Amino acid sequence: MDFEKAKKLINDADCILVTAGNKFAIADGLDMLDEASFKVQYPDLVEKYDVHTIGDALDKKLPSWPEQWAMWRRFIDDYSVNYQPSDAMLQLKQLLTGKDYFIATSYFTHAFENAGFDHKKIFNIFGDWTTMACSSGVNHGLKSDLAIQGVPKCEICNSEMEIHMPLTEHFYPDTDANTRMRIFITNNEDKKMLVLELGVDETSPQLLDPIAHLVMQFDSWKYIAADLASDELPEKLQEKALAFNTNVANFLKELSE
């Protein structure tokens, strides 16, 4: 019944802003806090560096740049180069076909781009480990790291490059993508906008409150939460929202049927 309501909202919307968080990433195959599978996939990293999850490993400063890049390279190969979209990702793609959309996500493996979404309609708020930035602390631009070997160096200052993620204090968000998202929001203030929240949790608060405030601010905007309960939403948002309190994979499956 409610899924029918959600389908109708999606069909009727002029545009859709997807917020995809950590639990979307899990539904798509990357659980950065999963110790059991990390131990099976990367037993040598557990042994050598005492790291137990992808999240743990990303936070760990390894003794040398070659070791650092060797580890990053494996994650990038496993989760980005050899990426296969999940059913959830394919169902989302189907859902957005023909729609004006924008995706704001904390999922950092280039998965949306790899699944065929338009890279100009994606803002990776926590960066993207298939891109790299200068480690000097100065913003010397972003480059793809997919074709590099060994330890890449900055073309401007010759410092080592690092994956573009907020692992240090000098993380610069992708300002171009941020600007494109702002334009998408501004252009659609008076349109029938639907915000589709998919698996956003406390690991990316940027994707919750600021977006909820926009929906409360603009009369024609509506909100669907896949995996939050109604009482987890701000009171004023509840009347403009459908909250499914299920998991992302199940939510997208139901919607695609």
How far apart are CB 158 and Zn ion at their closest, in Å? Answer: 7
Q: Rule CB under 5 A: say whether 136 interacts with Zn ion.
A: yes
How far apart are CB 156 and Zn ion at their closest, in Å? Answer: 5
Rounded CA-CA distance 83/35 in Å is 20
50: which 2 tokens? Answer: 């005492």
Could you tell me which stretch among 38-46, 96-104, 108-116, 151-159 binds Zn ion (CB under 5 A)? 151-159
Pick the binder of Zn ion from 36, 157, 183, 229 (CB under 5 A).
157
Name the H helices within 77-110: 87-96
Q: Between residues 122 and 154, which has the closer beta carbon with respect to Zn ion?
A: 154
Q: Which long-range CB contacts under 8 A does 240-249 form with residues at least 24 apart?
A: 240/215, 240/216, 241/215, 242/2, 242/5, 242/6, 242/9, 244/2, 244/3, 244/6, 247/23, 247/27, 247/199, 248/23, 248/24, 248/26, 248/27, 248/88, 248/198, 248/199, 249/27, 249/86, 249/87, 249/88
Pick the binder of Zn ion from 36, 156, 183, 229 (CB under 5 A).
156
- Report helix, strand or coil for 62: coil
Q: Please report which helix (H) or strand (E) contains residue 20, including its range.
A: strand 15-20
Q: Between residues 156 and 183, which has the closer beta carbon with respect to Zn ion?
A: 156
Q: Rule CB under 5 A: say whether 142 interacts with Zn ion.
A: no
Size of the site for Zn ion (CB under 5 A): 7
Q: Rule CB under 5 A: say whether 36 interacts with Zn ion.
A: no
Q: Rule CB under 5 A: say whether 140 interacts with Zn ion.
A: yes
CA distances in angstroms from 235 to 138, 182, 238, listed in the order given:
42, 25, 5
How far apart are CB 137 and Zn ion at their closest, in Å? Answer: 9
How far apart are CB 151 and Zn ion at their closest, in Å? Answer: 13
Q: Rule CB under 5 A: say whether 134 interacts with Zn ion.
A: yes
Q: Rule CB under 5 A: say whether 154 interacts with Zn ion.
A: yes
How far apart are CB 134 and Zn ion at their closest, in Å? Answer: 3
Beta-carbon contacts of 8 under 8 Å, excluding residues fewer than 6 positions away, are: none
Q: Rule CB under 5 A: say whether 168 interacts with Zn ion.
A: no
Considering only residues 12 through 31, tell me which ones interact with Zn ion, judged by CB under 5 A.
Answer: none
Positions touching Zn ion (CB under 5 A) are: 134, 136, 140, 154, 156-157, 159
